[in-house]
Amino acid sequence: MRNAPTILHLDMDAFYASVEQASKPSLRGKAVVVGGLGPRGVVATASYEARVFGVHSAMPMAQARRLAPNAAYLVPRFGLYRSISEQVMALLHELSPLVEPLSLDEAFVDLEAGEVAWDAGSARSVGERLRADIRGATGLSGSVGLAASKMLAKIGSEQAKPDGLVLIEPGTERAMLGPMPVRTLPGVGPATGDHLRRAGIATVDEIAEAGEDEVVRLLGRAHGQALYAMALARDERPVVAEREAKSVSVEDTYDVDIHDRLRVGMEVRRLADRCVRRLRAAGLSGRTIVIKVRRYDFSTLTRSETLRGPTDDPAVVREAAARLLDSVDTTGGVRLLGVGVSGLADYTQEDLFAQAAGEAAEILAEEETAEPVAEQEAVSERRWPAGHDVRHAGYGHGWVQGSGLGRVTVRFETPWAVEPGRVRTFRVDDPELEPVDPLPLVQG
């Protein structure tokens, strides 16, 4: 472990919810919950105002609504989140070539590799400047942890939340970690935590006091040794530069189980096309086609087929996915379907294998698929997802507050407005109302 706190961990604060608050003046300071709004939806992120009521990520949306009935419930806008994440990651790359993203809103940075920090003072200055730069570029806040290891830097950013910075001086780690609960350590989830608690181990100090042999006896060699080392504040893991994607996949969860086998097949075809569009957008192709099926009883099955070479041909992916689906029993109903491509490469090998119907049939299949997909996307847009952006010919830019019974309610405001905007209700088929892309959070 190094002698200076030059590993930085950035964690954006309640990222999705904070983006929504920043883009919607009427929601600032209010409880906001982002996630799937259907009967089986789950919470992706809750604002700090919503967390006061006990709402948290991965909670069923129905439970969140019971806890915070007056919160704003919004459908995610992943395109906007990705674009803001790219801005944040670009700022991190200005600090160091060693940036290890963990998600859209979280990353490690090796400041030493970037030669921007060498001791506690310089590391703190870099961290504070980063937080200011992020706020200036995006209007959002992020919490920063600085330490001599990845584990401790991440613990530091958790302590710093929201909108703070915590620097852990080398040499103070054991004293800081000791009284913390075992769940503080990476890899200790609810099951491991319960197992340790039944053995009389509730704090990090008690892991250290138990000794490595006892921890190994309780948890097995690999997990036990790693956990014991972390309890002693030992973590030699390096910051690893951004890895290439290993797979590209898409999936949908359905509000009502699908029983019709024909409908299941159509959904798999649609998902295959979405997956290929995402694959092509990334300039990639892949050799292994994978489908995922979660059935009515929550059992999840995956099937895969590896081709002779990489492809980004939608017809090839569709047909491989259909063959894989043939081996899955969907009699009782399906609640989730997914299609993915792995074994990625940055080139394609055309005509990997001939299908029985021939090339002409493949082209026809593409043409037949294109229109239904476009129609489905149009229907989805006309459903006016809560929180998504719209524009009215007379009122300008706004966002959907809600819809139902043939009506859609819109609040007209921009991210740069000082006061909340006005609210109007329209017919869902109003020709003057259309979906549009989000506006930037910071006016250029």
What are the DSSP calls for 129-149, one per residue? HHHHHHHHHHS--EEEEEESS
DSSP 203: B
Q: Flag the least confident range among 102-111, 277-286, 295-304, 372-381.
A: 372-381
Identify whether the C-beta of residue 24 lies closer than 8 Å to the C-beta of residue 411. yes
Q: For residue range 39-86, what is the model confidence (pLDDT) as tens digits?
A: 778 899 999 999 999 999 889 999 999 999 999 999 999 889 989 999
Nearest-CA neighbor of 311 among 248, 243, 264, 252? 248
359 as an active site residue: the answer is no
Identify whether the C-beta of residue 268 lies closer than 8 Å to the C-beta of residue 321. yes
Nearest-CA neighbor of 52 among 73, 36, 33, 39? 33
Tell me: pLDDT of 255 over 90. Answer: no
Q: For residue range 144-182, what is the model confidence (pLDDT) as tens digits?
A: 999 999 999 999 999 999 999 999 999 999 999 999 999
Burial class (CB in 10 A: 0-12, 13-18, 19+), 192: middle
Tell me: pLDDT of 396 over 70. Answer: yes
Write down the pTM of the prediction: 0.73
Q: State the average pLDDT over residues 227-236.
A: 92
Identify whether the C-beta of residue 259 lies closer than 8 Å to the C-beta of residue 329. no
CA distance 163 to 19: 14
Choose, from 20, 49, 106, 319, the residue flagged as catalytic: 106
DSSP 38: S
User: What distances in angstroms separate CA 442 from CA 77, 87, 142, 439, one per listed residue?
Assistant: 17, 12, 16, 9
